[in-house]
A and B are shown apart, each in its own frame.
Chain A
Amino acid sequence: MNETLTPQAWQAIALTLKLATLTSGLLLLIATPLAWWLSQTRSPWRSSISALVMLPLVLPPTVLGFYLLVLLGPQGWVGQFTQSMGLGVLSFSFPGLLIGSTVFSLPFAVQPIQYAFEAMGTRPMEVAATLRARPIDAFFSVALPLAKPGLLTATVLSFAHTVGEFGVVLMIGGNIPGETRVVSTQIYGHVEAMEYAQAHGLAAGMVVFSFAVLIALARLKKRSDKVLS
């Protein structure tokens, strides 16, 4: 492997793993309260918010990437805000890429957690309340542990989905080595340069990785089914 993978390829792999880890971590923090709200609320806003969360599922990544680029760029709202905070412009940078992939993988994190909360029903929270647990206590001591299979699935899915993204990365991150060049864009670069051997090394790795993720998800599902039955 070492002979087929160039130092640039290893750099891309490291960056991909870093991006995927941070994205899935960030998504757990964002998606869990969002999924909880969606599973509990009777607000008329529910369907609109839910549709908004699911939007990245149906939009071409280029569309999402384009709007993120506009928003984060020097003229965009977010760009102007980050500039006024002295953070510079986030487009074509790693933080920008992180924001992009977080938005892009949001539905993959929200849905499994939301399903887990919905499958749990209202009963466990009611039981917790009759046992003197205030709502926030009940959420952490009952709802979260019971939704663990959903949280695990969400983490694996958003990690894998981030590893596999391409369009958004290209739109918002460009292809800067060490900053925004991940495995998928690296493969694209190799192919453009007719370096098929190097492309093969990375592409085969992606196939193996994706296969392993799907196996892991199936195992996870089997285990959570056993817990529920």
Chain B
Amino acid sequence: MTGDPSLRICASLDRGDFALQVDLTLPAKGITVLFGPSGCGKTTVLRCVAGLEQAHGLITLGPETWQDSAKRLFKPTWRREIGYVFQEASLFEHLNVRENLLFGLRRAGKTRATQGLDAALDLLGITHLLDRAVTGLSGGERQRVAMARALAAQPKLLLLDEPLASLDIARRQEVLPWLERLHDQLQIPMLYVTHSVDELARLADHVVMLDRGSVRACAPLAEAMASQDVALAIGEEAGLVTQGQVIDRSPQDHLAQIQFGGGILWVRDPGMAVGQTVRVRILARDVSLALTVHDDTTLQNRLQGVIESIEADIHPSQAIVRVRCGRERVLARVTLRSLRNLSLEAGASVWCQVKSVALII
């Protein structure tokens, strides 16, 4: 990461019943998801970066220092070039949508300010809401306006604190595609707090897992998803998430072929283009292991690999087997009894039979 601008968050805080101790150097691009159970301190980290809370430590973004306790430096929130999207609707109710959007933009003092607004409106598809009262918006619309408002001021860092948590499932599905659009089109780095594995799998480039105020994992998405800490923390939802590319389509079967670091997979084709980059997610519980390749099975997706490690799982009957397939590590959830029956150990060559692949476009 030398030479690359990065986000450094070094913070320690002791409130008696809760202690926070993190030292993170994060890439200043893409989405970094702060992940963990409630009460683990992820929101506190975000608030420290925003300056809404003050821990002891150092916070820098590229060449800018926002806090340096050693030098008694603490920039107040309003002097940090951030955008912050709060968990619940935080729009100003005494202003309409347009006035809400202009609030930050006017104060940011950017010369090309309206460009920022137009881009934000377009990016979040809220141009038609401009003259509406805030109280008349749906939960999903409110969060989109809140995101646009944060972006309109052209921040250098976008902070999102569980922006979907206050929405019901239907609304969440309505807002998620807009977040994915932000991910694809924005150049600025984002810190995204969530406890939802689904959001993590869809949005993260980089993952920081927190537990009781300390960092358990800090790695790129695929690596983090393959780590034992994360696998144990997310339980049933453990598995591989990685990037792949559409290399072929079979229209009569409605399937598409995806090439990724671990091999080739057939997936349901929602109408993709050859060459398109997609995310694939393979849950550990959907992977079984075989010593030899089987052709007399309905499972068509098979990946060859070598067992890297076998680790304890959430239930004493099971284990998480980490299989290195090419450049990727596929997780398989199997019972200890079958491991014993097949005498599987680290170093053994196996076939991963994949029952289902989820596609995240």
- Chain A residues within CB distance 8 Å of chain B: 123-124, 126-135, 137-138, 141-142, 145-146, 148, 227
Contacts and interface: CB of A to CB of B under 8 A. Distances in A.
A127 B92 contact: yes
Contacts of B90: 123-124, 127
Interface of A is mostly: helix
Interface stretch (B79-87, B317-325, B337-345): B79-87
Nearest to A130: B84
A133 B92 contact: no
B39 interface: no
A131 B50 contact: no
A227 B93 CA distance: 8
A156 to B, nearest CB: 20
Contacts, number: 61
A117 to B, nearest CB: 14
A132 B94 contact: no
B149 interface: yes
Interface of B: 50-52, 76-79, 82-84, 86, 90, 92-94, 103-104, 107-108, 135, 149-150, 153, 159
B76 A129 contact: yes
A132 B92 contact: no
A131 B107 contact: yes
Interface of B is mostly: mixed
A126 B52 contact: yes
A124 B149 CA distance: 14
26 contacts: A124-B90, A124-B92, A126-B77, A127-B84, A127-B86, A127-B92, A129-B76, A129-B78, A130-B50, A130-B78, A130-B104, A131-B104, A131-B149, A131-B153, A132-B78, A132-B104, A133-B78, A135-B78, A137-B107, A138-B78, A142-B92, A146-B92, A146-B93, A146-B94, A148-B94, A227-B93
Nearest to A134: B78
Nearest to B51: A129
Contact of B94 (A133, A137, A145): A145
Nearest to B90: A127
Contacts of A141: 103
Nearest to B103: A131
Contacts of B83: 130
Q: Which 3 A-B pairs have the closest CB atoms?
A: A131-B104, A130-B84, A129-B77
A129 B52 contact: yes
B52 A132 contact: no
A130 B150 contact: yes
A123 B86 CA distance: 9
A132 B76 contact: no
A133 B82 contact: no
Contacts of B92: 124, 127, 142, 145-146
Nearest to B105: A131
Contacts of A227: 93, 135
Contacts of B52: 126, 129-130
A28 to B, nearest CB: 18
B42 to A, nearest CB: 17
A130 B94 contact: no
A132 B108 contact: yes
Nearest to A123: B90
A126 B146 CA distance: 14
Contact of A130 (B77, B93, B135): B77
A5 to B, nearest CB: 43
Contacts of B50: 130
A148 B93 CA distance: 12
Given A146-B93, A227-B93, A132 B84 contact: no
Nearest to A142: B92
B95 to A, nearest CB: 8
Contacts of A127: 84, 86, 90, 92
Nearest to B88: A123
A127 B86 CA distance: 8
Given A127-B84, A132-B107, 12 more contacts: A129-B51, A129-B77, A129-B78, A130-B104, A130-B159, A131-B78, A132-B104, A133-B107, A135-B78, A137-B107, A146-B93, A227-B135
B100 to A, nearest CB: 9
Most chain-A CB neighbours within 10 Å: which of B51, B77, B135?
B77
